[in-house]
């Protein structure tokens, strides 16, 4: 089982802000796989499967700077190891539209990630960074920047990055951190191709399952017809 934690702030006033990238990725992922949200203590959870992997999507509602409080409760509740966690969050040091996967590391100045590291007593867990860039307006401070929405072309680029993050998560679950890093961190186009390949493989499996189902139904029908004929003859 994997615990996938998207970071953000609760409340409608924060929904479209740059800092809520993690929440938006979780919402899109839950909708894509038809997972429903429910509240448990200090987090919203959506439980289900992605591919063959059981997952719990998490949106802490403790506000960003206390994300670790909710995360640590869930880590202990589900008894998951650090390597079974994936944290999705916004990153100022990554250009808008880019995503990066890391297996471990420091918080890099991100308060939400810093809180998780503090409460888990380790930084040895994977994280998926979604770039929001730094403010180009020198009069805007960092807090004001992350707590405001991206608009215009920047908004389009950020929405693309969030979509890429959503596509990246099934890839990470299927191929593992190491293999996924080679794809995600090298070329965004490679992610698109890998996602297409994954979907194609899923479609082939589904087609094979349906063919097998049809063959079994036909075999059963032939068996029933033979039985009926034998009964008439008797």
Q: What is the torsion angle, in degrees rounded to the nearest 10, for the CA atoms of residue 28, residue 29, residue 31 and residue 35?
A: -150
Angle (CA) 167 170 175, round 5°: 120
Distance between CA 58 and CA 173 in Å, rounded? 16
Token output for 128: 């998926």
Question: In this structure, are residues 131 and 108 in contact, taking their beta carbons and an 8 Å threshold?
Answer: no
Residues across the chain: 234
Is residue 19 annotated as a catalytic residue, yes or no?
Answer: yes
Pairing mode, strands 43-50 and 99-102: unpaired
Q: Is 141 left (phi over 0), alpha (psi -120 to 50) or beta?
A: beta
CA–CA separation, 52 vs 165, rounded Å?
A: 19
DSSP state string for 73-132: HHHHHHT--GGGEEEEEEETTS-TT-EEEESS---TT-HHHHHHHHHHT---S-EEEEE-
Catalytic residue among 19, 76, 118, 121: 19
Q: Which residues are catalytic?
A: 19
């Amino acid at each position: 089982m994997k615990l996938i934690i998207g970071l953000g702030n609760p409340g409608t006033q924060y929904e479209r802000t740059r800092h809520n990238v993690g929440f938006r990725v979780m919402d899109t992922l839950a909708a894509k796989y038809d997972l429903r949200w429910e509240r448990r203590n200090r987090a919203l959870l959506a439980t289900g499967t992605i591919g063959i992997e059981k997952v719990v999507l998490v949106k802490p509602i403790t506000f960003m700077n206390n994300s670790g409080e909710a995360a640590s409760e869930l880590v202990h509740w589900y008894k998951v190891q650090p390597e079974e966690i994936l944290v999705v969050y916004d990153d100022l040091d990554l250009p808008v539209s880019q995503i990066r996967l890391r297996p471990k590391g420091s918080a890099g100045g991100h308060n939400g990630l810093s809180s998780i590291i503090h409460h888990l007593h380790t930084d040895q867990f994977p994280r998926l960074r979604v770039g929001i860039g730094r403010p180009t307006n020198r009069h805007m401070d960092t807090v004001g920047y992350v707590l405001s929405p991206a608009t215009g072309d920047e908004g389009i680029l950020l929405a693309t990055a969030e979509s890429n993050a959503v596509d990246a998560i099934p890839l990470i679950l299927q191929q593992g951190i190491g293999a996924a890093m080679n794809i995600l961190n090298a070329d965004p186009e490679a992610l698109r191709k890998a996602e297409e390949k994954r979907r194609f493989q899923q479609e082939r499996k589904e087609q094979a399952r349906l063919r097998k189902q049809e063959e079994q139904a036909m075999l059963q029908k032939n068996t029933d017809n033979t039985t009926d004929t034998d009964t008439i003859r008797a």
